Amino acid sequence: MSAPFFVELLNRNGEVEQRVRVEQLPIRIGRSYENEVILDDEHVAARHAIVEENADGNLQIRDLDSRNGMSSQGRRQSQLELTGYTVVRLGQSHLRVRRSNFEVEPETVDTSNYQWEGWRPALAGVAIISTLTWVSTWLSQTDGFNLLVYLQAVISVLLAALLWSGIWAAANRLFGRNPRFGRHLFIVASAMLFLQAWNALASFLGFMFSWEWFTRYGSHIDILVLAIAIYMHLSTIKRRYTRGLLMTSLFCSALGSGLILMTHQKNTGTFADELYMGDIFAPGLHIAHDEDVDHFAQAADKLKSQVDKDRTKILPPGEMQIEED
């Protein structure tokens, strides 16, 4: 018989919320206090179902003519054999039954890297954020050195990062037992570091090789990095279903990129973030092939023809005649 038996109550994600130990069969399940397993569910009958052995010695669950019945995998069942993996729905409750000799799966490799916790990732995050903000402020300053300007910038960005990390840490404490604030702060710092490095590299390569698409579509990289950072936050809270979280984050990233493309097309008539490349470096760094004057003139004539054509669509013929005169 392999007693005792364990009735596991599951949430909608299949995670065990409660495990009830029962010493012998049959196991009566319902809302009444005479049952071995009591379900606090108004959609469950007082005596809803019973677990017992069938003629082959296997566990089975049988519906006791309840109004809402019993279902498994979306199909209503009056009687069902239980394998240990079978999930049964009674009312709004999901459960499964296992014997004491049920063989669980081997432990999975721990990839959570819990040794990278506490003050070490927190200090690393603070150092990265402070350095990036200091450098960005230095690059944007045209006046003389003013310590207050640098401190104000660093403190403002740090407070924003701490607030963002604190929100995720609170969610981690609520759903994952431990806040893991240092890990969340390090994720923020890593995202900022990647974005800063990418923007600098994209501007440099775009100018060097005349690859303007590097900077014209940079906002989509920003959205992708934000989506990956949110995925890292979520996977820190819950290590299960990480593939689904990643797919959802990438889908939201693609949706955001699509909205930006449509907005640019509506406002400017082009999908690009900017009409021209705004970052200029030393001329000696430009190693792309230079266009000759004739090619430039042809491109200018083509652009003028397109502009004149667009003007005829916007202005009435009378106004066009006045301007030409």
DSSP 181-224: HHHHHHHHHHHHHHHHHHHHHHHHHHHHHT-THHHHTHHHHHHH
Mean pLDDT value across the chain: 85
Other beta carbons within 10 Å of 249: 21
The residues that bridge with 79 in the sheet, in sequence order, are 62
pLDDT at 325: 47
pLDDT in tens, 188-213: 999 999 999 988 888 888 777 777 77
Distance between alpha carbon 109 and the CA centroid of its chain, in Å? 23
Query: What tokens does 137 get?
Result: 């402020």
Answer whether residue 323 shows pLDDT above 70: no
pLDDT at 244: 83
pTM of the entire structure? 0.61
- Overall size of the chain counted in residues: 325
Asked if 229 and 187 touch (Cβ cutoff 8 Å), the reply is yes
Answer whether residue 324 shows pLDDT above 70: no
The residues that bridge with 21 in the sheet, in sequence order, are 6
Angle, CA of 207, 213 and 217, to the nearest 5°: 120
Helices (H), strands (E): how many in the chain? 8, 11
Answer whether residue 136 shows pLDDT above 90: no
**Ordered DSSP codes for 9-67:** EE-TTS-EEEEEEE-SS-EEEESSTTSSEE---TTS-TT-EEEEE-TTS-EEEEE-S-S
Which is more confident, 200 or 30?
30
Cα 76 to Cα 41, 52, 60, distances in angstroms: 18, 19, 15
pLDDT in tens, 217-275: 888 999 999 999 999 999 888 776 678 888 999 999 999 999 998 998 888 888 888 77
Of 68, 74, 72, 64, which Cα lies nearest the Cα of 91? 68
| Across 3-12, average pLDDT | 91
pLDDT in tens, 63-120: 999 999 999 998 999 999 999 999 999 999 999 999 999 988 888 776 666 667 788 8
Asked if 30 and 48 touch (Cβ cutoff 8 Å), the reply is yes
pLDDT at 168: 93
pLDDT in tens, 154-193: 999 999 999 999 999 999 888 877 888 999 999 999 999 9
| Across 11-31, average pLDDT | 91
Place of tokens 């290590």: 239
